[in-house]
Amino acid sequence: MSAQSRKVLQVLKGETLSPPPIWLMRQAGRYLPEYRQTRKQAGSFLDLCYSPEMAVEVTLQPIRRYGFDAAILFSDILVIPDALKRNVRFEEGHGPRMDPIAAEEIGKLDVKPVSSHLRPVIETVARLRQELPVETTLLGFCGAPWTVATYMIAGQGTPDQAPARLFAYRHPKEFDRLLALLADVSADYLVEQIDAGADAVQIFDSWAGVLGESEFKRYAVEPVRRMIDSVRARRPQAKIIAFAKGAGILLKDYRQATRADSIGLDWSVPLSFAAELQKDGPVQGNLDPMRVVAGGQALDEGIDAILQRLGHGPLIFNLGHGITPQADPDHVSRLVARVRGTSA
């Protein structure tokens, strides 16, 4: 088997495959007992992200168990602010924390050490390409500038990202400067991942759904387009998935505006709308992660609906967001078997 048979990559080039290739966001995660064991050995979450040996191991775990068509680098979107010296840490039971950034600090951010700080992640990518089955697509990733900025401003996750939205209204020039800096640093990071062996990359804009129409264009679309243009200027063949969670009807022109090859769809996107978006190119998604928790008929019906509506065009089967820790590994086996038309 050759690299030409990497199915996710084939779909990103516009092909329709039946059955469609499959991978799951957060497929290496807390729902797997083998992940929990490795995570315990690692110490802190960031230690796990920055240990090539351990990051390779947890990336490979779901590939060994399920044979997914793609492996996604095990890391986190917040390694970028960590590289920018924002004191990122992950507190048990509370999630990510960092020092909130003030408007006057944005101009003082030093991007020079970012590449060297992230070198262990790039080493992980290179090792993965050597250790993965040749037919498995390797995906790199990073966070979108808007989503990363929301954490940098609030110092943590918030329900509606009100701190970042308010900051953007009060300090528009400084906020635009932060988004541009994040776009440029993140584009460099993606190029390094591609050079290390990533077949394609995904940009996660997990908080795009809290933005109004004009804000979506300014804070979600324009910085991602800046990133994609920067990557393509250096690596013209790069394949890029853009995932703007919760963007709804604003996804109508998102592919064209950002120049992404494929767009990721969350579970709230109606399949009728998804089919319209698919006419312009590959789509990825969009099973509700709660169906994987539920299993049984709820899982089967959700899978079948997506395959019936989107299976006749370029589709990468995935969840509409990351798999949750409550998911039963056996339900994932059932999902994979049903998508592929085999018995679990």
244, two tokens:
């703007």
User: One-letter amino acid identity for 217?
Assistant: K
Question: Is 31 among the catalytic positions?
Answer: no
> Taking the mean position of all CA atoms in its chain, how far away is CA 136?
17
Question: Is 39 among the catalytic positions?
Answer: yes
Catalytic residue among 35, 66, 151, 254: 151
Question: Is 309 among the catalytic positions?
Answer: no
Catalytic residue among 31, 35, 66, 76: 76
- 115: number of Cβ within 10 Å: 14
Residues 6+ positions from 252 with CB-CB distance below 8 Å: 277
Residue 53 is classified by DSSP as H
Question: Is 26 among the catalytic positions?
Answer: yes
Instruction: Measure Cα distances from 28 to 53, 71, 208, 318 in Å.
Output: 15, 9, 24, 14
- Report whether 257 contacts 228 (CB < 8 A): no
Q: Is the peptide bond before 19 cis (omega within 30 degrees of 0)?
A: yes
Question: Is 280 among the catalytic positions?
Answer: no
Catalytic annotation, residues: 26, 30, 39, 76, 151
